[in-house]
Homo-oligomer: A and B are copies of this chain.
Amino acid sequence: FFSSRMKHDPPASSSANAPPQPAAKAKKKKGPKEGPPPPAAQKDLWKTKLCNNWQHGSCHWGPQCSFAHGEKELRHADRQAELDPEQSPNARMWLPPGADAAAQQRDFASDFDPNFIVPGRVANKSAELVHAVNDFHFAMVNDFDRNEFYRTAMRQVITPESKVLEIGTGSGLLAMTAARLGCKWVIAVEANRHMAALARENIKLNNLSDKITVLSKLSTELEPEDLPDKPDVLISELFGTLLLGESALDYIHDCRTRVLAPRAKIVPPLGCQMATLIECKQLESITSVTEWGGLDLRHLNALQDTATVVFTKQYGFRFSTVPHTMVAPPVRILEVDFEKADPAEMQSEGRFEIMAEHTGIVHAVLLTWEAFGHDKCASMSTHPSESSFQRDMQWGQALQLIEDTQAGDGSQPVPFRVTKGEPLLLIVRYAEDRVVLQFELRRRAPQNATTQPGLGAAT
C-alpha cells in the first residue's frame, strides 16, 4: 500500500471535478492594494529561479522566499498578474488548509523526491491538508481541556430542540459532542472533501450518523436550502495563535447574517485578545548579542526585528519553559462578542494607558487570548500559565520585541527600561485585514498618569 511519487498518478477526478466556486460573497468591500509594488528590477525576477535552500529542505525564510519553492512556483520573468478584488470575495479571509474551494490543490505525494516512499493512504490527499493536520490538528484534538471547554459551553445552550450548525468540523469531534449532549440535529461543514469523508467515518464509528450530516463545503458557500431549518446554535473553533487569526469573526458574521435563526447562540460567544509587557532574559539571549571571548559583537543588533509579531511555534520553544516576568498587568486590546460584532466596524488602532508594576526591561509584548462560555465562568486560554503541551503545539503564543524608539540615534535598538510606577502608552495598529497587528510602546508624561495600576484602560 505504499507508492513512491514516480508511480503515483493523481486521481482521474482531480481535473474532471472543477472546484466549487464560493456561492456567497461574505465581504464585498474593495480594499486598497497592500502598499506600493516592488521596484521593477525585483518584481521582474520574483520566483523566476528555483530556491536552492528549499531543495535542500531548509529554507529559512519560508513563505517570503523570493525564489521558487518547486518548479510549480516558477513564474515567467516579464509577466505579472493583477487580481480584481471583485473576483475574490473572500480575499481578506483566512481559508482552511486544503479547502476544496482553493482550487490550486496539489497532492501530498508531489512534495517528495522520486527516491522516497509515501504511504498510499495520504499520497493523493491535499498536501496542505496533510501538513496542517500534522502541524496542529492532532495536538488540537488531544487538547482535552479545549474539548471539555466546548462541551461545557455547549451544555449551557443546547436543548433537545437545538438545531446546531458547526463550521470547520475536521475530525467531527465537536459535532459529535453536541449530538451526545442531545440536540435535534447537527449540520457540520468541512471545507476539504477528504477530511469530510474522515469525519463521516468517525461519526459512523460512534453511531451518530442519524444525528449529524457533514457537508463538504466552506461555510461561506452554505445556502439556506442546504439546511433543514435555520440553525439556532452555531459551534466553531476558528481560533489561531491570534484570536482572529483564522478570520473567526468574518466566518461567524457571515453565518449570522445569512443562515442562522435570529438570536442564535454562538459557541463560544466571547473572545478576548490580551497583550502583556514581559521581561525575559532568555528571550534576550536569542534576539540580541553583547560579547563573547572578549569580542564586542554589538553591531549585529542593528538587524534586530522589533516590527514583526512572531509565533512561539516559529521560534521553536514553549514560552512556559522560559522564566519571564510581567512588567505590567495584561491589557485587553480587543474584546469580541461573536453574537453581535461586525467586522466592518473594527478599528485600525487602539491606545492603552498602562503603568509599570516592575522595574526592569520590557523585552517583548506577549500575545495570548481567552474565550468564554455564556456563563463567563467556562473559559479557555492560550496564556503560558494555562496552556498545555498539546495547546502550545497547536496555538502557542505570539511575541513582538520591544525597543525604546524614543532613545538612541537609531543605529541600534535601545532596550526599553522601565521603573515601577512609570506611566506607559501601548499602541496597537491593525493591518487592512484587521487581523495582522503591530505594537508600539511609548512613555507617557507623568502628569497624564491617571490610570490605576492593574487596569488597562482604553484612552
What CA separation (Å) do A227 and B37 show in the bound complex? 41
CB distance from A165 to the nearest CB of B (A): 19
Please judge, given known A-B contacts A50-B91, A115-B429, A298-B205, whether A390 and B286 are in contact too, CB under 8 Å: yes
A435 at interface, CB cutoff 8 A: yes
Which residues of B are found within 8 Å of A303, using beta-carbon distances?
Answer: 121-122, 125, 129-130, 133-134, 137, 195, 198
**Are A307's CB and B55's CB within 8 A?**
no
**Are A198's CB and B131's CB within 8 A?**
no
Q: Looking across the interface, which residue of chain B has its beta carbon closest to that of A63? A: B69
A110 at interface, CB cutoff 8 A: yes
Number of copies: 2
Q: Looking across the interface, which residue of chain B has its beta carbon closest to that of A121? A: B302
**Are B58's CB and A411's CB within 8 A?**
no
Interface string of A262-302 (1 = CB under 8 A from B): 00000000000000000000100111110011111111101
- Contact residues on A (Cβ < 8 Å of other chain), bracket: 35 or more
What CA separation (Å) do A447 and B116 show in the bound complex? 28
Which residues of B are found within 8 Å of A128, using beta-carbon distances?
Answer: 60-61, 64-66
A451 at interface, CB cutoff 8 A: no
**Are B125's CB and A245's CB within 8 A?**
no
CB distance from A40 to the nearest CB of B (A): 7
Which residues of B are found within 8 Å of A95, using beta-carbon distances?
Answer: 51-53
- Most chain B CB within 10 A, of A35, A59, A133, is at A35
**Are A180's CB and B135's CB within 8 A?**
no
A459 at interface, CB cutoff 8 A: no
Q: Which of A373-419 contact B (CB under 8 A)?
A: 389-390, 392-393, 396, 403, 405, 409-413
Segment touching B, from A310-318, A328-336, A338-346, A354-362: A310-318
What CA separation (Å) do A42 and B38 show in the bound complex? 27
Apart from A51-B63, A315-B393, list 13 A-B contacts with CB within 8 A.
Answer: A14-B42, A60-B128, A64-B111, A66-B128, A114-B432, A115-B438, A116-B431, A119-B410, A138-B286, A141-B292, A205-B296, A313-B315, A317-B318
9 A-B pairs with C-beta separation under 8 A = A35-B112, A35-B113, A52-B247, A60-B136, A119-B410, A122-B302, A130-B303, A137-B300, A286-B389
